[in-house]
Structure 1
Amino acid sequence: MQFLLVSDTQSHIRASKQLHKDNSLYGPADSWFQDTNIKRLFGIPYGIKKVNEYSSIKSVLDYGCGKGGLVLALKKTLCSDISIRGFDPGIEEYSTMPKEKFDIITCVDVLEHIDRHAIDAVLNQIKNSMTGFMVFIIDLIPAIKSLADGRNAHILLAPPEYWASKINQAFDYSICFNVGELKNGEKYPTRFIGCCCNDYKYYDAMNVFIKESNFGNMRLIMVGGGVVEWSMMRKDYKKLT
């Protein structure tokens, strides 16, 4: 299976390739393991590890994996007999979409980089490539970086309601919510996060992931200028890789 695109929906792939080509420091794999990496703080590998203890899984795909930081973290955390793959059309090493289906697909800060005209095709490709469920994080605020053509790197900036609609159109079941607030505690969504699947039998496994990761524990505080600070509502968040 190749990346599902038509002629007028490839600009995000070209832009991603150019961004990685122009900036070798953009999204290096080892940045995943930095304490300041907000994506790491969500505790995705640990959450999937606990899902595997609840209901054995055999394969995980990181869709839109960049240079492979989460792929490395998953390999470090999960059992060696679990197949862990990455796909990203903007990175040569990961540019071929695997043909097999996966028990879990992660999609972290990816969908906001997709052209609006291609988002349905991308979600359908993910749906058709999984047997279990998808874990997603969608950034709702502008990126710090810009593309060569002047657009913000987050091509598809949309409110949580838009993403909830898209997720519910593509998948039959979902657990999703907003994360984000201002310093005064007023709600200010900065991420739309959750899990989704096409078969109710995976609903309990999705709940295990939400509970055991930091998805339900993170506080993201918008302080201005695109800067987001974080804290945890519970102190027992030793769930990082």
Structure 2
Amino acid sequence: MDLFSVEYQEELRKLHKDESAHFGNSARMPGGIFAPPLFKLILGVLDTHNLSSFLDFGCGKSGGVPLPRDQFPSLKDRQVHGFDPGVAEYADSSKLGSKYSVVFSNDVLEHIEERYIDNNIEFIANRTEDLFIAFIDTYPALKKLSNGLNAHVIIAQPEWWITRMIRHFDCFLSHVVRYNETPNPPGKLLFLGVKSRAGKNAASEIFARLPFHLRISASDMEK
């Protein structure tokens, strides 16, 4: 199953090598959506529900953990792997395990070529034992590819993403983080795809404890 074209993989590698672009590092930036307090909240829920293995899909340069492990001691006892076609060290999908309790993807799916997005979602779902956690931008990026196209090669509304992903999960929760209160403001989709009872319990707790005070766009625990 192809996840990307050779040409686009080379484009991703160029972006990752450009230190000035901060590509693949947004999760480590203080203002990032996955800043330490939110990651700590989600990691705590995963610990509570005994979800022990973790795949960071589109890990960038972080190698499977979106923030430094020394901030989160419980990560030391986890099976934690990363995959990213744009970083040579993490580009070989054959080295990954067959299943992970949790697959996590932060600001990644919108960077995937549209002709391969369904393959990627299927790849993720096939490796998810309990819970898939994804943050997806639904607006244009500031960065451009070398061919002038926007770095968010898929710009789509939350409903477009949800329709594609729910085919592969037993049930789901979703939430849209809006950045302002103007008409049709840009937003970031949080999607929690469930594959098991443990995953469903963890998703419900994460959703209930989210620190977001902004509007909910959709919630559905029955597919």
TM-score normalized with structure 2 length: 0.83
Question: Residue 64 of structure 2 contacts residue 80 of structure 2 at CA under 8 Å; is this kept in 1?
Answer: no
Measured on the aligned residues, the alpha-carbon RMSD in Å equals: 2.6
Counterpart CA distance in 2 for 1:32 and 1:171 is 25
Q: Residue 167 of structure 1 aligns with which residue?
A: 165
Write 1 or 2 for the structure with the bigger share of strand. 1
8 Å contact kept, 2:103–2:128: yes
- CA deviations over 1:83-129 (Å, ceiling 9, x no partner): 22111010012112213311111111000001111011101111111
Aligned to 1:38: 33
Please state whether the residue corresponding to 1:25 is helix, strand or coil: helix
Identity over aligned pairs, percent: 25
Count, aligned residues: 211
Partner of 1:234: none
Matched, 1:152 2:188: no
Q: Which of the residues 201, 204, 217 maps onto 2:201?
A: 204
Q: State the match for 2:15 in structure 1.
A: 19
Instruction: Note closer, same or farther for the CA distance 1:155–1:131 as it changes in structure 2 (3 Å cut).
Output: same
Structure 2: distance between partners of 1:69 and 1:213: 25
SS in 2 for 1:207: helix
> In 2, distance between residues paired with 1:146 and 1:158?
17
- AA aligned opposite 1:206: A
> Residue 163 of structure 1 aligns to which amino acid in structure 2?
W
Q: Report the counterpart of residue 190 of structure 1 in structure 2.
A: 187
Quick one: higher RCO (CA 8 Å, sep 6+), 1 or 2? 1
Letter in 2 for 1:36: G
Residues 134-190 of structure 1: per-residue CA shift (max 9 Å, x gap)? 110000111000001111000011111101101112222110122215345x45241
Distance (whole Å) between structure 2 residues aligned to residue 52 and residue 32 of structure 1: 21
Structure 1 SS opposite 2:97: coil
State the Cα distance separating 1:41 from its structure 2 match.
6.3
- 2:86 maps to 90
**SS of the counterpart of 2:42?**
helix
Q: Residue type of the partner of 1:62?
A: D
After superposition, give the CA deviation of every residue in 1:22-67 in whole Å (9 maximum; x if it has no partner): x1233377764442223326712431222212x2122111100111
Residue in 1 that maps onto 2:218:
none
- In the TM superposition, residue 130 of structure 1 has moved relative to its aligned partner by 1.7
TM-score after normalising by structure 1: 0.77
Give the whole-Å Cα distance in 1 for the aligned partners of 2:86 and 2:40. Answer: 23
Correspondence for 2:220: none
